[in-house]
Amino acid sequence: MPPDADDAASDPAASPSAAAEHRVTVHGITHGMEGVARLPDGRACFVPFALPGETIDLVVTETRARWARGRLVDVVEASPDRVAPPCPYAGPWPAAPPACGGCALQHVRTEAQPHLKRRVLVEQLERIGRQPDPPVTEPVPTGPWHYRSRARFAVDEQGRLGFREPRSHDVRPIDRCPLLTPDAQALRDAAGDAWPGVESVEVHAGSAGGSGLLVRPGADALPPLPEAPSAIAVVDAGPPVALRGDPTAHETVAGLPLQVSAGVFFQAGQEAAEALVATVRRAAGDVAGRHVLDLYAGVGLFAAALADDGAHVTAVEHHRGAVSDARASLAGSSATVVSADVGAWLAEHADEEEADVVVLDPPRRGAGPAVCEALPRLRAGRVVYVSCDPAALARDARTLVEGGATLTEVVPVDCFPHTAAVEAVATFTLP
């Protein structure tokens, strides 16, 4: 047994209940928000719904040479942050089969959740990013309930909408979700449960009006459409096609209007978008009269705010629908929207295009080494990196720091309370 094996695992008096295999103490948390304990044989064991500091009983459900995954059977000594999940579909489910895979943290006090996410950010930046004692601030909370203005429902064999079970492709039919805004829930209600053969149905109810369903068909013909939702689009291989009405959602963030067409990325909801914009604005500093590059710009969320602050913004985005939404929303502002792949655009323009500040908000996999290595060529004094994956942020932070940047601040923003998603705004300065 390794020296750091926990006491409970090595203490024969601390035997697990009859239904369990091991009694262990949880010492850590993964970036998927699973508790980490050590089995008596020394392997790390990941346990969904277990919290650091708790003593738990578990059964091993998945086993590998160096690690295992366990199911929480009983909480012997609970964390003071443990609460009963309010949603009937949320875990843990010691005696029942798993239900909704959407929420990983409903069993944690709402105020404590952002601190768990902060802890994950610190650990990833230290371990993967090689940043000792990273400058991670206190987290910014949002929500915590009824914050999601959009959600994509999977469809079960009978055509009912639901979410996938944890670590599974099976769909659990779900009629109510406490994370949805009332308008998004009303849209889900109107969508009904008669979508046989369809792959998914996405609802989006804009905070400033406009709403609709986006249907991704399966191999079969679409079933008859429900009567209630006034706007429905379908998306297959190409761009979405409206079947009925106009499913464009409208959002207002920091008082600025944005349009979001069906199938185009937008943040979880209005409050998360407000929190991210406020954090990015603060991180970017005084941008009046300065050139700001907004990479991975989407519909122009950050470009709109920074242009409103007086910056000359160049926004780069490759998704056709997002580019056209950004152009519509930013018309009349000082922002220019470029339709291009960020990597290809930087390869061509990084040496000639000087920027004072670069904002980048890449997809979950991160920006990657080619983009991070190109950023210093823009001669910007500051890079503001909006991240939705701490491991990707840590990898990119390492590349940026190796390229001469200094990581000066990381602000965790809890855009998705109760889920495992960890978002952050990291600021780097460059000489």
Ligand X SMILES: C[S@@+](CC[C@H](N)C(=O)[O-])C[C@H]1O[C@@H](n2cnc3c(N)ncnc32)[C@H](O)[C@@H]1O
- CA neighbours within 13 Å on the CB side: how many for 176? 6
The CB-of-299 to ligand X minimum distance in angstroms stands at 6
Torsions phi, psi for 373 (to 5 deg): -75, -30
The CB-of-324 to ligand X minimum distance in angstroms stands at 12
Indicate the burial class of 431 (C-beta count within 10 angstroms; 0-12, 13-18, 19 or more): exposed
Q: Can you say whether residue 25 is alpha, beta or left, with left for phi > 0 and alpha for psi between -120 and 50 degrees?
A: beta
d(CA 171, CA 149): 21
Residue 171 or 394 with smaller CB distance to ligand X: 394
The CB-of-270 to ligand X minimum distance in angstroms stands at 12
* CB distance 51 to 112 below 8 Å: no
Burial 315-341 (b: 16+ CB within 10 A, else e): bbbbbebbbbbbbbbbeebebebbbbe
The CB-of-103 to ligand X minimum distance in angstroms stands at 21
Q: Tokens at residue 120, please?
A: 């994950």
Q: Which long-range contacts (CB under 8 A, 24 or more apart) does 378-381 make?
A: 378/293, 378/346, 378/350, 378/353, 378/354, 379/354, 379/355, 379/430, 380/293, 380/354, 380/355, 380/356, 380/430, 381/356, 381/357, 381/429, 381/430
- CA-to-CA dists, residue 136 to 81, 112, 250, angstroms: 22, 16, 33
Residue 244 or 250 with smaller CB distance to ligand X: 250
The CB-of-204 to ligand X minimum distance in angstroms stands at 13
Q: Tokens at residue 284, please?
A: 């970017």
The CB-of-207 to ligand X minimum distance in angstroms stands at 14
The CB-of-162 to ligand X minimum distance in angstroms stands at 25
Q: Tokens at residue 97, please?
A: 């089969």
Q: Tokens at residue 159, please?
A: 């055509």
Catalytic residue among 45, 100, 388, 415: 388
Indicate the burial class of 373 (C-beta count within 10 angstroms; 0-12, 13-18, 19 or more): middle
Residue 183 or 361 with smaller CB distance to ligand X: 361
Residue 86 or 363 with smaller CB distance to ligand X: 363
The CB-of-257 to ligand X minimum distance in angstroms stands at 14
Q: Can you say whether residue 368 is alpha, beta or left, with left for phi > 0 and alpha for psi between -120 and 50 degrees?
A: left
d(CA 1, CA 9): 10
Q: Is 372 a catalytic residue?
A: no
Nearest to 47 by CA among 99, 30, 120: 30
Residue 47 or 301 with smaller CB distance to ligand X: 301
Residue 274 or 356 with smaller CB distance to ligand X: 274
- DSSP structural state of residue 11: -
Return the SS3 of 85.
coil
Residue, CB closest to ligand X: 298
d(CA 104, CA 419): 5
d(CA 203, CA 194): 15
The contact set with ligand X (CB under 6 A) reads 265-267, 296-299, 301-302, 316-319, 322, 341-343, 361, 363
Residue 42 or 257 with smaller CB distance to ligand X: 257
Residue 50 or 420 with smaller CB distance to ligand X: 420
- Catalytic residue positions? 388
